[in-house]
Structure formats: structure tokens, C-alpha cells
A and B are shown apart, each in its own frame.
Chain A
Amino acid sequence: MSDGVVSKVSVVRKALTGAQAAAEVMRQVEPDVVAAYPITPQTPIVQEFAQFVADGLVNTEMIQVESEHSALSAVVGAAMSGARAMTATSSQGLALMWEVVAIASSMRLPIVMNIVNRAISAPLNIHCDHSDAMAIRDLGWIMLFSENPQEVYHNNIVAFRIGEHPDVFLPVAVNQDGFITSHCVEAVDVFEDSFVKNFVGEYKAPYNILDFDNPISAGEWAMPSHYFEFRVDMKKAMDRSVGVIEKVFEEFYKETGVKMDFFEAYKTEDAEIVFVVMNSTAGTIRYVVDKLREKGKKVGVIKVRVYRPFVVEKFLELIPSAKFIAVMDRALSIGTTGSPLYQDITSGLFANKRIVLVNDYIYGLGGRDFTDDDAYEMYEHAEYSLKEGISGQIVYVGLNPNLLGR
């Protein structure tokens, strides 16, 4: 808890993994329907929740479907029929869901889905990177990222308020790093159930295909005369979500004393070199920033909490002194100039007529370990790049060149 705001909410400190933290919010919110399929490293979320169902702690219909495609389809069906519905997945599961991911957002269904980030096949790999989430980044989902189990917990609570707001009506994906966050136990401050229930509130569905007084059909044909407008409507809803997220974060802060923001800056006010990072690696970078500051280096870090909508103007306000940005992408875009986060930042800089040198540091693919030593090396590379005026370089951190093909 921070900034001297005294929380009105009573809190119990529990030892939870990231997966359990997500399941804990699911227990407190008590969605009407949960449909899921096992996949590593997501499985502990729905497994934990299945125990809550069996123990009678929640009044939720839970379906053990036969695939992730079926999981999100069942959730879409439930949401269309007026239910608050949830699922969770990882990697190949999200890839298999892809067409339904697009359906959920374009049907404007405020589903909340936990994504435990994992590399995409082939070769088969169950460890963390962000390739899975990045493959859905343009589909109209609000995307929140979590550094640790505590943030998984907070992000899940606000997710409902954001997605279900009538100005928005878009699904929300809450991301956490596979194994690193999902399977590691940390202390998590859990709010009392009544607070979470009240804060999230009663579910008011955007529409209900079972409403006999106002019968509608959904997902029908939209010819070239109408389709375009549906897409632009989604874009406008995403734009409106910015104001909604601001208000929800503010209310959350007032109630709990917990500050959340689109981008969370650490020592960036006077920083000339700024790291940008998502999810669990943020902790490592903050530690390294402290060490480098001790040596008098003007360095800071920005953690991306809200990745969609990506409000680059808010990002730019946080880096008034930046001369060099070291973007850290835990996903590799193949066939273009840089990876997803790099593209979001560089296009934002250009559009805002801000000239800053930027390199894209690709790290941690398929769970490749990223340590503070890697971060120091990255910093040295960034410092050298700034001195030499290098920009636009894609740098692979921790790559073993001996293993590369031709």
C-alpha cells in the first residue's frame, strides 16, 4: 500500500502463486460460467477454481470442454445469454482460440480471460515468453500485464470494471508470465470478499439473446455496406476505454490505496536511458536501475501495465529527459523492423515528433533465463548506442550463436 492513503478495505496476506491469485479473484467475483481446457502453465488457475466449485464456495457453472476453441466458444455463448463468463489459457490454447478471440471482442462481450504467457510452437516449449499474447494484440481486447501475483490479483479485479463499462463493452485479457509468476509463491494482499464483490458490482450484460421482450439475433451477416462501421465502433470503444481505465484506477486507489497506471515509471524523470519492459522482468530491471543509479547513471524503467489500449502520449510524458529507449520485447516479430512493443513505441515517437534513439532488445524467448547480468550488459550496449548515435538495432540478449543454423 502506498502514498499514505489509508485503505478502507481489510486485507489478509496470503501466500499465493500467480495462478492462485487469479483463481482467488474468480472465487470472489463468482462468475456465472467458467469453461476451460487444461494447458500448461494455465492449468492451476482453473484447477484451483474447480476445487472452489466442488467445495461449494462459488455458485458457478463449470464446463470441462474438449478444447480451448470450445472453451472460449462456450464462454461466448454464455456471455451472449447474459452471463458473466470467464476462461483462462496459454500459448497453443490461445492460438487455437484465435478466431473466437476475435468473435468475443467484435460481439462486444466483456469476458475476462487470464493468459499465462508461454512460447508458441514449434518446437514445443512450455516456458515463458509473450508470443501468445502478442498474436491477439490487434483483435480488440483490453490487455493488462502483471509483474507478480499481487498484480495478477489487482488486474483481475479492475478487469471486470473496465470491460463491463457500457462505454467499453470489450473483453479483457489479464497476462502473467508462465511459471515465473504463475507457479511461484509470493505474499499477496487479498481484500475481503465483500469489497471485491461490491467493487466489481452486479453484472449488466451488454445484451441478451434470451431477452424475449427485446429479441435480437447476433453475429449475422454484415455486407460491405455495414461491416466497416462495426470495426470502427470497436476502435472507438477501445479509445473510450482510456477514460474508463483512468476512472477505475482512481476509484481503486481511493478505496484500497493501491496505485495502478497505464505505464509505471521508475526513476525516469531525469533518466537519459530508459528501459521499457512488461511482466515479471520489471523487478529485475528496477533492481539493476538502482545499482546503476548508485554509479551515477541516469537510467530508469517503464513497466507497461496496460498494453491495449497503448496510450503512447502517457508514455511520452513519463520520459521527459530520455535520449535513448531500450525496448525489451519478449516476442520476436519476424519480417519487419522490430517487435511489437518496439513498434508501438517507435511509431508513437514518430507521430508525436519526438526524436529519441531506440533499440529493440529481444530477450527470454521460450523461457531463456534473463538475469541482472544480462540487464547490465544490455545497459552497456544501450550506453554505447547512445554515445555512437545508434538506433533501430535489434539485439538478441542471451542468444547462443553456436546453436544457430545458417
Chain B
Amino acid sequence: MATVDIKKFQVNLNPTWCPGCGDYGLLRGLQTALAKLDLDPSEIVIVSGIGCSSNLPHFIKAYGYHSLHGRALPTAQGVKMVNPRLTVIAAGGDGDGYGIGVGHLVHACRRNIDITYIVMDNQIYGLTTGQTSPTSDVGSKTKTSPDGNYEYPLNPILLAISSGATFVARTFSGEPEHMADIIVKAIQHKGFALIDDISPCVTYNKKNTYQWFKERVYKLEDIGHDPYDINQAIQRATEWEDKIPIGIFYINPDKPSYDQLDPVIREGGMFAKPEITEDEKKEILNQFL
């Protein structure tokens, strides 16, 4: 990997995450991706929800808004609609995005608005110190399921594909370089991109550990997966437990994004100043003379 300078996205503030938290990997991967894209902090807005991972905007140099639990996506969409030239990234955890805010995820996918949504998925509620989450595996023992969780987890990859997202990927915090490349592609993609980042909770999730994942993850690109084939994508999305694919599951380059369809956003948004030629100015003036 070519070295990139991530300094311009770093802040002089130590993250509040536990040592070893998967969110450090995501932070590094995201900073690397932003540097690779040669973006300036002033061109980026990061909107988060509530949870350990939603503390992200504090730790990255860019515009940031720490919103409400589950409400990162609608807020991020509001930002994007007003100033579509900004790179808008929504971020949060599985409880935030797949639990309390899952309704917004479905509609952001459907709308295919050009933002990148990164979910740091640790399969547990970490900030409230370890309760069952919407992606907790069946049988997981947590403080709210001491004798094992018996609710089936949600499949975020399948949900995003079926809801109309046009870029759906999974990354692993244990593979930050691979992750950075995928984040670059997600941001470059014109339309809604979901990145489900496997971000192990080293404190409260005793099942889904780095080791557990390392024994299971494989890269989709290594097996010749075609992300433009929705059937293959759906097939791969159902894999979990024995083998866990990371990489890009699905890309749909043909579906226009909300930004391309909406006439105001298409022209640069409500605050964009249209270029007016001298002739056009005269023509407008003549209407009043």
C-alpha cells in the first residue's frame, strides 16, 4: 500500500474506546481512505448516532455532528441535500443502525442518496456495557440474555441489497488496508453505500473475537466474486458462522442516485450559485426594462 499522509485527518484527542477495540481499525481505515481520495477536512461531514462507535466524529478532523441514537442517516441526508458537493459519511454501530434506526436505513437505501454509511458492527451494545443487539448471534450470552440469545440476527447485507442500496460491502477492522480500499470505492460510488465493518468488542463480546473472525473471514475478490451480479451477491450475503466474506458484495452502477434525480441537488444544491453569462444577464435585465 502506498503510504498516504493521514495527519490532516488526525486530532489531538485520544479515543475513549477500550484498548483493542475494532473501532480503532475503522478510524485508521477511514483516515487512510480520505487521504487517498485527497480530500480536505473542510469537504467532509461525518454524522454519527449514539454508541461507542458513534463517538467517531470526536476523533477525526472533519466537520462532525454527534446526533441522536439511530438518527445519523436522516441527519446526514439533510446535510447532503443542502450541500451535495460535500462528502457525507454517516457512522454508528449495529444497535444504532440496525436496531433503533433501521427504518432510516431501509429508506436511505431505497432513496439511493449519495452518502456512505459505515456501521461498526460488534454484535453487542457496548456503551451500555453489553446487551443483546440486533446482530447478536443466536446463543450469545449477554447481560440481557444470560442464558443465551434466542432471537435471530438481522442480516444487514441482505437488507441493504433488498432495500435498494447500490453499493454494499463488508470490511474487517483486522484488515485496515483492505478496508481503506473499500471505503475509497464506497465514497467514489455515486449512490448509497453501506459498509458493514466487523469491529470486534473486546470487552463485552466474548464470542465474536478477532481470533474467531480471523479463522473465518475470506476476501470476496479472492474467489472471483462478481459484485455486479445480484444473485451472487445475495448468495454470498447469506454466509456466516463457518465462513465470513469480506469485500464488495454488490454494486449497481445503473440506478440513478437521488442526487442525480432531484433537480435542485443535480444543479449543485440550494446554495449553489449558477453561472450566468453576460448575455443571460442582459436578457434578464431586459425583461424589466
Q: Smallest CB–CB gap between A343 and chain B, Å?
A: 28
A66 in contact with B102 (CB, 8 Å): yes
A66 in contact with B144 (CB, 8 Å): no
Chain A residues with CB under 8 A of B50: 92, 124
Chain A residues with CB under 8 A of B68: 92, 121
B146 in contact with A54 (CB, 8 Å): yes
Most buried by A among B70, B143, B147, B151: B143
SS class of chain B's interface: helix, strand, loop or mixed? loop
B127 in contact with A40 (CB, 8 Å): yes
Determine whether A31 belongs to the interface, using a CB cutoff of 8 Å to chain B: no
Determine whether A51 belongs to the interface, using a CB cutoff of 8 Å to chain B: yes
Q: Looking at the complex, which of A42-50, A109-117, A190-198, A374-382 is the stretch in contact with chain B?
A: A42-50
B143 in contact with A50 (CB, 8 Å): yes
Q: Smallest CB–CB gap between B66 and chain A, Å?
A: 6
Determine whether A39 belongs to the interface, using a CB cutoff of 8 Å to chain B: yes
Most buried by B among A40, A51, A66, A123: A66
A124 in contact with B99 (CB, 8 Å): no
Residues 134-176 of B contacting A (Cβ, < 8 Å): 134, 143-147, 149, 151
Chain A residues with CB under 8 A of B70: 67
Determine whether A367 belongs to the interface, using a CB cutoff of 8 Å to chain B: no
In the complex, the number of residue pairs spanning A and B with C-beta atoms less than 8 Å apart equals 50
- When C-beta atoms are compared, the residue in chain A nearest to B95 turns out to be A38
Using an 8 Å CB-CB cutoff, how does the interface string of B87-120 with A read, 1 for contact, 0 for none? 0000000010001101000000000000000000
| Bound Cα distance A96, B95 (Å) | 15
A43 interface neighbour in B100, B129, B134, B145, Cβ under 8 Å: B129
A66 in contact with B131 (CB, 8 Å): no
Determine whether B125 belongs to the interface, using a CB cutoff of 8 Å to chain A: yes
| Bound Cα distance A51, B141 (Å) | 11
Determine whether B277 belongs to the interface, using a CB cutoff of 8 Å to chain A: no
| Bound Cα distance A51, B265 (Å) | 52
Determine whether A342 belongs to the interface, using a CB cutoff of 8 Å to chain B: no
Q: Assuming A47-B131, A47-B144, is B100 touching A38 (CB within 8 A)?
A: no
- When C-beta atoms are compared, the residue in chain B nearest to A95 turns out to be B68
A66 in contact with B128 (CB, 8 Å): no
Determine whether B69 belongs to the interface, using a CB cutoff of 8 Å to chain A: yes
- When C-beta atoms are compared, the residue in chain B nearest to A48 turns out to be B143
B143 in contact with A64 (CB, 8 Å): no
| Bound Cα distance A69, B132 (Å) | 17
A38 in contact with B131 (CB, 8 Å): yes
| Bound Cα distance A54, B134 (Å) | 19
| Bound Cα distance A124, B50 (Å) | 9
Q: Smallest CB–CB gap between B1 and chain A, Å?
A: 35
Determine whether A37 belongs to the interface, using a CB cutoff of 8 Å to chain B: yes
A67 interface neighbour in B100, B125, B132, B146, Cβ under 8 Å: B100
B132 in contact with A64 (CB, 8 Å): yes
B125 interface neighbour in A38, A50, A55, A96, Cβ under 8 Å: A38
| Bound Cα distance A51, B134 (Å) | 19
B131 in contact with A40 (CB, 8 Å): no
Please give 16 more A-B residue pairs, beta carbons under 8 A apart, in addition to A47-B143, A67-B99.
A38-B131, A38-B144, A43-B131, A46-B144, A47-B144, A50-B144, A50-B145, A50-B146, A55-B146, A64-B131, A64-B145, A66-B102, A67-B100, A121-B68, A124-B50, A124-B66
Residues of A within 8 A of B (CB): 37-40, 43, 46-47, 50-51, 54-55, 62, 64, 66-67, 92, 96, 121, 123-124
